Amino acid sequence: MTRLLSAVAAWLLIAGAGHAQALRPPITGISHIAVYSADMAASDAFYAGKLGAHKGPDPEDAAGARYYLSARQFVEVLPLPPGQGLSRLAHVAYVTPDAVALRAYLAVRGLSDLSPVRTGANGDRWFETHDPEGVAVQFVEPAAAGADPQPGAISGRIIHFGFLVRSRAAEDRFYRDVLGFRPYWHGAMRADATDWVSQQVPDGTDWLEYMLVGEGSTTPLSRLDARELGVLNHFSLGVNNMEAAVTTLIVGDRLSPRHDGPNMGLDGKWQANLYDPDGTRVELMEFQPVAKPCCSDFTAASPTH
């Protein structure tokens, strides 16, 4: 009842105010990313064995599994549905302290594609919608609050994820105008193009990266095969020191068969890539830049841990 009254009060405030954006409940960071797997055992060997994440049951889908990097952040791995197509991205998810109020806010802002708020066996509350690209987007009110890395995990922090975007303008109307995301950085392989646009969550330092394809980018639509989609649809784990992280992987025989880097990214941060058995890219990235980025300056603070 208390949550219902809170949501109704938020609705009345938003409906009666001329500055609805300021009344949006917080969106503080990334909760998780969910990916599909054609071989759950092979995925387990990667996420638990290579990344060192802690495997747990999936309160959202009993057929899946969660691989926890910390109590709050995880990768959800789901069996590949028949007829899925080339993409292995299932959904992305952000953290909010009040799922009921955020859903009410989005309804007032005109979104009709909103699932009911659900509660998992672990106490998490969440609802789902879709962005203009058709990507399923969840907003999670987590029951657990701990952010300490799981023992043995190569990283305890998902600092960003990214996926294929055809229309930057359409995505901006959703993420920036409705949700309040903020510009962070943009770059490209050529000076006359835009390949990557990073939008930071409104109340934290995690970000979403538009991986642009088609007009205006250096990636043509004709290049979108399964391998390319696995590169575009990715997530990034923050590390304090790339040399130490990669050394840990090498010494422990934890590099994936396909991997690349370390190298200096065009955003001035050290990066290295692993790939899960289905081709989803897992990018290790240092939290802070150590060189001047190409193309644009950072317009918001980078994460420190």
Fold match between 2-141 and 158-286?
Answer: yes
What is the residue extent of each domain of the chain? 2-141, 158-286
Residue 170's H or E segment, with its range, is helix 168-172
Bridge partner residues of 272 (DSSP) = 284
Query: Which are the contacts of 77, defined by CB distance < 8 A and separation ≥ 6?
Result: 34, 35, 36, 37, 40, 43, 44, 47, 64, 65, 66, 67
Q: Beta partners for 130?
A: 136
> What pLDDT, on a 0 to 100 scale, did the predictor assign at position 305?
86
Residue ranges of alpha helices (H) inside 63-165 are 99-108
Query: Rounded mean pLDDT of 36-55?
Result: 98
The answer on pLDDT for 44 being more than 70 is yes
> Which spans in 17-55 are helix H?
40-44
Architecture per CATH, 158-286: Roll (3.10)
Q: Is the pLDDT of residue 176 over 50?
A: yes
8 Å CB contact between 90 and 47: no
pLDDT at 21 (0 to 100): 47
Query: Quick check: bond before 81 cis, omega within 30?
Result: no
What stretch of H or E contains 161?
Answer: strand 158-165
pLDDT at 15 over 50: no
- What share of the chain in percent tops pLDDT 70? 93
Residue 56 has pLDDT above 90, yes or no: yes
pLDDT digits (tens, 9 = 90+) for 259-281: 999 999 999 999 999 999 999 99
pTM: 0.92
CATH code of the domain occupying 2-141: 3.10.180.10
The per-residue pLDDT for range 75-101, each reduced to its tens digit, is: 999 999 999 999 999 999 999 999 999
